[in-house]
Amino acid sequence: MRIGWIGTGVMGAPMAGHLLAAGHDVRVHTRTRARAEEVLEQGAVWADAPAEVADGADAVVTMLGYPHDVRDTVLGDGGLLAALEPGAVLVDHTTSEPSLAQEIAAAAAERDVHALDAPVSGGDVGARNGKLVIMIGGEQEPFERVRPLLEAYGGNVALMGGPGAGQHTKMVNQIAISSGMVALCEALLYAHRSGLDVQAVLELIGGGAAGSFSLSNYGPRLLRGDLEPGFKIDHFIKDLGIALAEARRMNLFLPGLALAEQLYVSARAQDLGQKGTQALLVALASMSGVKLPDASG
């Protein structure tokens, strides 16, 4: 297939790489050309603008930063939608607003283009291993058409409902992770301050009712002071902001989410925005005057 690709950051580059490895014809654009070098070396062709990526493509895939990037790239002047041919499929992997996904799907339908919102989880490791979870909102027919593409880097690719359902599913995921990380960090702080052997405690309780992916994966990293991102706090704050706005719109009272978002804002205020989400521990510790012996800020 002829594929256009926009966005070659830490996630987008290895994802596009899987498509090239599978033999697809990929034209690529990204804001900073130097970040596209890796995929250009793998055989992608450079395009100077989004509209040029769209020209003649069967599908265009975007993996951007913020909702306003998606809006500009898809709906803006010289954007993708005006340049896509009828029947083409637009796939947005950016974690973005469900309402924007619905707006794009409606605008696309008017031009006989199909839009799928398709945020992912699994981080850079999942992107490299081709094991991402991909949560899709949109129509069945275009989904089936691009499914083989998505399975080049997706371990679990699921259509969750109509336009916006992919973004809503991602919000559910982020809501669960946010309070789950609060749970882990507070448990670690209590264990540390009460003088316990924190590693022994994690090993004992991790196999029982307190067990979680966060505890098993971020607990050991935190114990060795590893704050490097899997997923950056700056990006998580964007996601939690979207979730809070959607919850407010739906009249949903989610106090755990609201608290987690505020704690992450405090972490960012403490210069941890470029660290991984597990660095919440450092911010919470500072609020109790706890010095973490191993944490390399």
Question: Is 232 considered catalytic here?
Answer: no
Give the C-alpha separation, 92 to 17, whole Å. Answer: 17
Q: Which of 27, 29, 168, 275 binds a second copy (CB under 8 A)?
A: 168
Applying CB under 8 A, the site for a second copy has a residue count of 68
Minimum distance between the CB of residue 271 and a second copy, rounded to whole angstroms? 19
Residue 188 phi/psi, 5-degree rounding, is -65, -40
Half-sphere exposure of residue 162, counting CA atoms within 13 Å on the CB side? 7
Residue identified by tokens 């969750």 is 160
Q: What is the DSSP letter of 66?
A: S
- Opening angle at CA 114, ends 113 and 115, nearest 5: 120
Give whichever of 36 and 157 is closer to a second copy, judged by the CB atom. 157
Q: Which of 3, 54, 182, 282 binds a second copy (CB under 8 A)?
A: 182
Q: Which of residues 190-219 bind a second copy (CB under 8 A)?
A: 190-191, 193-197, 200-201, 204-205, 207-215, 217
Structure tokens at 90: 């637009």
Q: Which of residues 260-289 bind a second copy (CB under 8 A)?
A: 260, 263, 284, 287-289
Which helix H or strand E contains 134, and what residues bound it?
strand 132-137
Minimum distance between the CB of residue 277 and a second copy, rounded to whole angstroms? 9
Give the C-alpha separation, 78 to 80, whole Å. Answer: 7
Minimum distance between the CB of residue 137 and a second copy, rounded to whole angstroms? 10
Q: Check binding of 117 to a second copy (CB under 8 A).
A: no
Q: Which of residues 217-256 bind a second copy (CB under 8 A)?
A: 217, 243, 246-247, 250-256
Of 177, 158, 197, 172, residue with least CA distance to 252: 172
Of 152, 111, 142, 116, residue with least CA distance to 20: 152
Q: What is the DSSP letter of 276?
A: B
Q: Check binding of 103 to a second copy (CB under 8 A).
A: no
Q: Which residues are catalytic?
A: 170
What is the binding site for a second copy (CB under 8 A)?
98, 121-123, 133, 135, 156, 158, 160-161, 165, 168-169, 171-173, 175-180, 182-184, 186-187, 189-191, 193-197, 200-201, 204-205, 207-215, 217, 243, 246-247, 250-257, 259-260, 263, 284, 287-290
